Every structure is written in C-alpha cells, then in structure tokens.
Structure 1
Amino acid sequence: MSDRWRTLRRRIITPDVSETRLDVRGFHVKNQVARDILETVGKSFLAGYAIAAEAKDQSIAERRIDALQPRFRGFAYEGAAMAYAVIDGLSLWRRDNSPRFLAGPGDRHIYMAYVGIGWAMARVPRFRWQRLVLPDPTLRWLALDGYGFHQAYFKTARYVYDQYRDPSFTWHGGGPQSYVQRAIDQGIGRAMWFVYGTDAVRVADAIDGFDPERHQDLYSGAGLAATYAGGADEAELQTFWQRAGEHRPFVAQASAFAAEARIRAGLLVPHTEVATRVFCGMTATAAATLAETTRPDGPDGDQLPAYEIWRQQVAREFVAIGRN
C-alpha cells in the first residue's frame, strides 16, 4: 500500500477532532481543568486512531504512540485498536491487523485494546462484526463495554438521558447472552463520567435516575473512568464513593481493574493512586495485584461469563476487608 493511499485512508476513516469537544457533545463542563483533561483524552484517542490508520506497519505506530504523554497514552492505544478493527471489518480481503495488534503492540494495553474494538463495532456494519476478532474469552466482554461507551458518548440523548436499551442487539461473541446488556451498561456508566464532566454529584444523580437493576454496572463503569481517566479530586471521589452506597464493592472492583490496566501498561499516574486510595483503601499496585491474582482460569458459567465471575470475586475481596 502506498504512502499516499495510507494518508487518504487515515483522512477518510478518522473522525473529526471537533467531536472530542465538550461543547460540541453538549456535555457538562465542571471547570476548565476537567474540561482540558476530557478533551485531551478524546484528542489522544483520535491521535492513536489516525496513527494506526496511516502507519506503514504496527511497529511504527507503536513508536509514535509511545511518544505521547503517559497519562493519555492508553487512550491512544484504544484508538489504534479501533482503527485496526475498523480496517479489518471493512476490508474485502485481509483481516489480521487487529489480531496482530492484540498480540503485539497492544498486548501491554490489552484492556484498552478490547474496548477499542467495541468502538469499532459501533462504526462497522453489524453484518461485518464476525470479522472482528476477540481471542480472549474473558476479556471479550470489554468490547461490549467499549460499544456501550461509544453509544452513550455519541448518542447521549438516547442512551443516557432516555436510558435506552437496544432490544435488537445481537451478540455473536459467545458466552451467556443474558450478560450482554450488563456489559454494555458498564460502558455507558464509564461514558457518564465524561458526559457529566467528572462531576461526582451529577454522575451519581444521573445513575440513580436509571432502573435500580442497572445501578451496579453503571456505578462500576463510572468508578473505572474516575480511576483511569481522572478529573476529580479526593473530596469529589469521596462524594462519589458515598453516593455509590451498596454498590461500593463494584466501584472498588472497577478501580482495581483500572489500576491493573495502567500498571500493566507502565502508565501509573498520581490520580490513579488517589482513586484507589479512596475506592479500594489501598495503593494502586496493591489493588492491581488483587485484580490480577483473582482472575479465573475456568470457562464461562451457564449464567455468568468468566469476566463477571472475576468481577464478583474481586468485589467479594473488597467486602472482606470492609470496603462496603
């Protein structure tokens, strides 16, 4: 493929950077600091997407993404994973970009990479979804998390304000179908941290307005975003923790997952330490270790996927040490 064609491909398939602006999205602006953080997250995502769409090979893309700020680098890898999945999903012939990325440059950022594939699901026609490769049977549910985030971020009125669930959604990724909407809700909750501008009270108020059966997954998703993306100080995180009520063990679980994602990638930053101290009652390293060592080895259950079994085990560990 020529350099000219790769440049053209990048221009055609890369979303416009204006879509990352909070005013364009109609999201709440808490303050300028939070706005800058959230908009830089979006710009970093699109930077990774554009780099992957244009790079001659994945090693070049890796070097360019690794030059970005550590705080936002994981989002660039998420964007790169989306780009490779979109290319595979739309290609008439090759479809090995995404698997090579997951096994290569994306491996250290594997959680973000699976979420990025979920973004691709939202942009690739459904009849092409079978071309999107999800080799890890536990982490494949993160693609649905990514899909839910995308829908809440770009179709906010429908998925957040109107609390929509798509009755026609069909998941071909395997595992218990009854868990599909729950995984999507975790992504919606994560997006709500962005929609409400990292304002802990507004996020909690919005979650509490949903059907109670959805609260656990929405709070968990928002807790993950608060830990990984940041944007709230310690007092605000304490407020969110208090508002989560009975769902605190799953906020702690999600915070531990976010810490593990950052530490695996070598991208641990101060705001993640603050969040795990508030939500988990421990350092980010300790929380990440707890998450890593409780990951199940077995297959999906009849009613729950291995991913949810893992989440519940981590939540129980936090209950046992009084984080409830």
Structure 2
Amino acid sequence: MRLTTFKPVSNAEGTRVVAQSDGVGRADAEQIPGAERPPGAERAPDTERPLSMERAPSMERAPDTERASAAETAGSGRSSNAERVADVEKGGVEQAPERGRTGAWKIPGTGKVPCAGDTGARTAPGAERSKSGQVTEAEKVAGGTPEPAVPASADPVDPAVPMDLTAQTAPMDPVVATAPVAQVVATAPAAQVVATAPVNPVDPAELELTRPRGLSGLFWQDLAQVDFGPRRFRLGPARERLETASQSFLTGFNAVIAGETGRIDDIHEELRGFAYEGAGMACTTLDVLTITGGRRLRDLLSGQGMRYPHMIHLGVGWAYARLRMRPMWGIRSVHPLLRWLAFDGFGFHQGFFVTDRTVGRQRSAGLMDRTRRAIFDQGLGRMLWFHECAGVDDVILRIAEFPPGRRADLWSGVGLAATYTGGASAAELERLSVAAAEDGFRAHLVQGSAFACASRLISGIVPEHTVAATPALCGVEVDEAGGWTDTALIALGHNAHSGDHYQAWRAGIRKAWARRNRDS
C-alpha cells in the first residue's frame, strides 16, 4: 500500500483541518498514517515536500545547530516540532496541528492524539469509523482488529452545557412571544412527561430553608398566616389538605427569597404546583421592585418551572395584589395569553386576605373592565372552595348569594379548585355538578375543571383526586377534558393575546363539552 505524503500546513490551513475533523466520516480521501507502517513503506524524504511560506506566530527560525539537530531528528522518524508542542501544552500561542512521534497529528493545545478504540491504534482527526461500521483507510494502515463501531449522535452534546429537557419550549421574546401559543401550552398525556421525583419528598412545613438576612429577609412569609382558624374560614374534613396546599404556596415563595428554588422539587409532587405558584409570586415581586422587566419570572418559566405555566401565572397575580398594583405593570416576559391568569390570582388573593370586603360585601377590585372582572371572579371562585373548606353544600349556598351576572365565573373557579386541589368525594362532586346545572352554569363548571386537567397533564402529575373528580364534573376522563383546552387554544391561532382571546378560549372549552354531550 502506498503511503500518501502530506505537505506542511500553515496556521490557517491547520485550523481548517481541525474544523473538518469534528464530523464523523468526513475525513478526506487521503488519510494520515497511523502508529505502525506496513513493511516496505518508506517515508518520503523531507526534501521532496515543498515548504510553506507561512509560519505560526511562535515559530522562530532556529540556529544552525538546532536545524542540524532537527535534521537528525527527522532522519530518525521523530518530529522536529516536539518543542513547539510542549510550549502549546503549557499554554503558549495557538498552533497548527503537528505530527507526533508516530506520524499522527496532534490536537493543538493538548499534545494528545485521538484514539480509534481501545486497540491503541492512532488515527488522524476525522478518521474515526463511519456510522455504518465500515473500517476506514486509516484503521487499515494502523493494523489490528477494529472493535464494533458505536453509532455517533448527529448532534454532539457538550457536557459543559446543560441539556434542554423540553425541546419545544424556549424563552419568549421580552415584548412579543414569537412561538405559536399552542406549542407552549398544549398538553400531553402524563405518560409522555418525564418528571424527576425526589428520593424522600417532604411536606412543605418540613422543608428547611435558610432565611436570608438583610432586606431579603423582610419578604419572608410565616406559614401560620394561612391557617384556617385565624382567617375565620369554615372548618371541615378537608382542612388539612387545603391548609397544606396553602403552606406549599408560601414555601415556594420562601424558596425563591432564600435563593433555594431547587428545593421546591423536594416537596411532594402532588403539592408542587402550589409551590411553583408561590415561586411565581416571589419572582414577580422581586422583578417589579428591582425593575428587571421580568428576568426572574422568565427564567422560572423557561427553566425549573416550565411544567407549571398556569400556576406560575396565577402567582403573578398574587404579587400585584400584595403590591397593590394592577397586573401586568413592569413585566413583559410572560406568555401572551396565560398572562391573563394573573387577574385570576389577583381575585384569589383578595378573597383570601380581604375576605370581608370581597366575599362579605361582594366587592371586586376597582378600575377593571368586564373581561378583567370575569377573570377576577374565576379566581374568587377558586378561593370559595378554600373558604368553605371544600364543603359542597356550603359552596353552593355561598355562590347563590352573589348576583347572577357573577355566578358563571364563580362556578368556573370552583370547578378548577375542586379538580386540581381535591377535598370532596365523587358523590359530593356529582351533587355539585347537578347544582351548577340547575343554576344554568354547568358548562362553566366543566370549563374550570378542564383547565385543572390541562395544568395537571402538563406537569406530568395527575393525582388520584383529579382522576376521580373529572368524570364527576366533566363526564369524561382527564385526557379528554385536557384535550378540550388544546382544541380551543389551537382554534384561536398563533396571535392570541388579548383578554377577548382569553375569554374565547374559555368559551371554546365550553363548546367542546357541549358537542361531546350532543354527540354522545
């Protein structure tokens, strides 16, 4: 076999050779010989190879004695560039690829030679086995029995760069989201969602967080403030479940304040959504006060909390209610349609902490148009499920006290809370469904329940109480109810962003349920 001679390369040419070596199977037709040469193959004399006119920046002309020594080295088969390779290893100037003692090319800056398996054969960069398992020319020259080829990935992964767990989700533009709305919010079956559960999940009250010092410590929240007794909420069998959900919310808030957002995933998976709702409140609070335009909130939505977009946007509304500001001032990096859930969170907060005014006197927040007030009432309806401690009969009586024009959205919020949070049996929920139908708002109750199903499906965690509540309220299973939200969302198109679009989304879910009942 004839060995192909190679010309010395310039610095620019060497860079090109290294760049070409990144792809598997992209080596040129002429391959660089390996560590062993077949018998009879003679190395071409140096005098037959034309010299390049370029030198690397660190290549200085050597004295005559050094050149003589280099000639002797070349005659012995060793590279005369060993000293320059050593300089590069010590952090010297960038060099072109150089030949080692075996005749193989060394990687600039490392002095190492790529290996072709565990046989010890050395090949040139880019001379690895092809994806089909064929042995390349360089391996034939090197000799030995090649090991089975390992298929190479089409896109090599840099271990220093964190992997994106959801290839469909990307940070949105600070002003306008460019990705289709349906791609961001569309649900998926729970079996397709990969969720990493902690080894030993804990209750929110047991999660130990370090309270920060200084100004950040002023934001720290006491979990006792959500106890139903001091708040004068109705007490019942579901008290512990509902109080634990509220504590999870404050724990998620404190985790962000303490700089330990990663600890949220240590909470029981069933309660994790409430914790991310609190994290959304904390990120929004800090973003508004520091005028970052929503940087922390954007990082949460595109990072650790990407599976809880609905809950995080609900938490945004809590922040504005606590700051006594109208959503969404100062926050740009949110979902163009889900941002309207902030008014839902606003309504829940007002009902929870300003109960006498919001529930007793039935006042709503001022300076709100009809659309915002409807979403506000949906959040207030969610709060009524907590206020009445998941007592179905008490919830029915409480809704009946409100004017007919507000009941539809209240029923929607009750359906969302009953499905997502739980606290009532299937028989009690069926009675709730009958009462909503008698009031003329069964479709609104279903719409809220479908919202909860969609949120649970996106998170990949569908607890037993959600599985039991969905047939009682919607008449279908969780996957089908969550699919209604996708169908209605896709029908809006890619540019859905206004309050009217959000209301059309809710109406589309109600229509999907109506068609299902008509066809069945």
Aligned to 1:143: 342
Contact 1:51–1:64, Cα closer than 8 Å, also in 2: yes
Aligned partners of 2:248 and 2:272 also within 8 Å: yes
- 2:217 alignment partner, one of 4, 8, 11: 11
Q: Which residue number in structure 2 is paired with residue 37 of structure 1?
A: 241
Q: How far has the Cα of 1:256 moved from its partner?
A: 1.0
Q: Displacement of 1:298 after TM fit?
A: 5.0
CA distance in 1, matches of 2:365, 2:326: 17
TM-score by length of 2: 0.56
Q: Deviations over 1:151-182 (max 9, x none)?
A: 00101111011111233x35xxxxxx430111
The 5-angstrom pairing of residues 1-324 of structure 1 reads 6-31=212-237, 34-55=238-259, 61=261, 63-91=262-290, 95-126=294-325, 130-133=329-332, 135-167=334-366, 169=367, 177-245=369-437, 246-295=440-489, 296-299=492-495, 305-322=500-517
Query: Cα distance 1:285–1:129, how it changes in 2: closer, same or farther (>3 A)?
Result: closer
Cα distance in 1 for residues equivalent to 2:302 and 2:250:
22
Distance 1:94 1:133, change over 3 A: closer
Query: Partners in 2 of 1:37 and 1:4 — Cα distance?
Result: 25
Q: Offset at 1:321?
A: 2.1
Specify which structure has the higher proportion of helix.
1
Q: Deviations over 1:95-142 (max 9, x none)?
A: 511122122222210000000000000112428952233532211110
Task: Specify the SS of the correspondent of 2:434.
Answer: helix
Flag the 1:130–1:233 CA change in 2: closer, same or farther, 3 A. Answer: same
Give the residue type in structure 1 aligned to 2:274.
F
Amino acid at match of 1:253: Q
- Say if 1:129 and 1:138 are closer, same or farther in 2 by CA, change over 3 A: closer
SS in structure 2 of the partner of residue 198 of structure 1: coil
Q: Is the 8 A contact 1:9 1:53 kept in 2?
A: no
The amino acid of 1:315's aligned partner reads: R
Q: Residues 123 and 252 (structure 1 numbering): CA distance in 2 closer, same or farther, change over 3 Å?
A: same
Aligned residue pair count: 307
- Partner deviation per Cα, 1:189-215 (whole Å, 9 max, x = no partner): 010000010001111111111010101
The amino acid across from 2:442 in the alignment is: R
Q: Which residue identity is paired with 1:130?
A: W
Q: Scaled by the length of structure 1, what TM-score is found?
A: 0.88
Query: Aligned pair in 2 of structure 1 residues 96, 210: CA closer, same or farther (>3 Å)?
Result: same
Query: Residues of 2 paired with 1:128 and 1:178: CA distance?
Result: 15
Equivalence for 1:174: none
What is the alpha-carbon distance in structure 2 between the residues aligned to residue 44 and residue 223 of structure 1? 21
Asked whether the equivalents of residues 259 and 287 of structure 1 are also in contact (C-alpha less than 8 Å), the reply is yes
Q: CA 1:262–1:93 in 2, change beyond 3 Å: closer, same or farther?
A: closer
Structure 1 pair 54/280, CA: closer, same or farther in 2 (3 Å)?
same
SS of residue in 2 equivalent to 1:30: coil
Moved more, 222-231 or 274-283: 274-283
Q: Take 1:297 and 1:42, find their aligned partners in 2: how far apart are those partners?
A: 35
Deviations 1:48-68 (A, max 9, x none): 11111111xxxx51x311111
For 1:29, the aligned partner's letter is L
Question: Gaps spanning 5+ residues in structure 1: where?
Answer: 171-176
Structure 1 residues 280 and 94, CA, compared in 2 at 3 Å: closer, same or farther?
closer
Q: Deviations over 1:233-282 (max 9, x none)?
A: 11111111111122111111111110110110112100001111111111
Whether the aligned pair in 2 keeps the contact of 1:298 and 1:306 (CA below 8 Å) is no
**Greater RCO structure (CA 8 Å; 6+ sep):** 1
Deviation of the 1:299 alpha carbon: 4.3
Q: Are residues 226 and 277 of structure 1, via their aligned partners in 2, closer, same or farther at CA, if it must alter by over 3 Å? A: same
CA contact (8 A) 2:294 2:333 kept: no
Question: In 1, are the aligned partners of 2:293 and 2:332 still within 8 Å (CA)?
Answer: no
What letter matches 1:101 in structure 2?
L
CA RMSD of aligned residues (A): 2.3
Q: Extract unaligned runs of 5+ from structure 2.
A: 1-208
Q: Which amino acid aligns with 2:258?
A: E
Read off the aligned partner of 1:202 and give its amino acid letter: D
